[in-house]
Amino acid sequence: PGLHRFLASKEQFHAYLRARGEPGGQADGRGKEEEEEDEVEEKEKEEVGSCQNEPPAKRVRSEDLSQDGERREDAGAVEKEPAERKRARGQNKSRPCMKPNHYEQRRLCPSVTQGCAEKCYFGSQCRFLHDVGEYMAVKPADLGRSCVLFETFGKCIYGVTCRFAQVHLGDGYQNIVNTDLAKQWEGKSLVRNNLSKDLQHQLRKRKFIFKKADEYLRGLAKPHGSGGKGGKATGRSTEEQEVSNCTTPQEGLGDSPGCPVLPEQGEDPKPDTLQNPGPTGGEEASSVKTVGPVTDEDIIKLRSCEKKKLEIQGKLYLAPLTTCGNLPFRRICKRFGADVTCGEMAVCTNLLQGQSSEWALLKRHHTEDIFGVQLEGAFPDTMTKCAELLNQTIEVDFVDINVGCPIDLVYKKGGGCALMTRSNKFEQIVRGMNSVLDIPLTVKIRTGVQEKINVAHKIIPKIREWGASMVTLHGRSREQRYTRGADWDYIAECAKIASPMPLFGNGDILSYEDANRAMQMGVSGIMIARQVPVGALIKPWLFTEIKEQRHWDISSSERFDILKDFTNYGLEHWGSDTQGVEKTRKFLLEWLSFLCRYIPVGLLEHLPQKINERPPYYMGRDYLETLMASQNVDDWIKISELLLGPVPTSFTFLPKHKANSYR
Which residues are identified as catalytic?
405
H, E, C per residue of 85-152? CCCCCCCCCCCCCCCHHHHCCCCECHHHHCCCHHHCCCHHHCCCECCHHHHHHHCCCCCCCCCHHHHH
What is the C-alpha separation between 215 and 140, in angstroms, rounded?
56
Distances (CA, A) of 623 to 20, 206, 364, 555, 564: 7, 57, 37, 12, 18
Cα 188 from chain centre: 26
CA angle 402, 406, 408 (to 5 degrees): 115
Question: What distances in angstroms separate CA 588 from CA 323, 407, 496, 553, 595, one per listed residue?
Answer: 11, 23, 40, 22, 10
- 299-307 own/partner pairs: CB under 8 Å, 24+ apart: 302/438, 304/238, 304/434, 304/467, 307/437, 307/438, 307/439, 307/440, 307/469
| 7 DSSP assignment | B
User: Is residue 658 within 8 Å of residue 89, measured between CB atoms?
Assistant: yes
Kindly compute the dihedral angle of the four CA atoms of residues 625, 631, 633, 639, in this order, to the nearest 10 degrees.
Answer: 10
Buried b (16+ CB within 10 A) or exposed e, 74-113: eeeeeeeeeeeeeebebbbeeeeebeeeebbeebbbbbbb
As a residue count, the chain comes to 663
CA-only gyration radius of the chain, Å? 27
Q: Which amino acid is at 535?
A: G
Query: How far is residue 282's CA from residue 625's CA, in Å, rounded to a whole number?
Result: 67
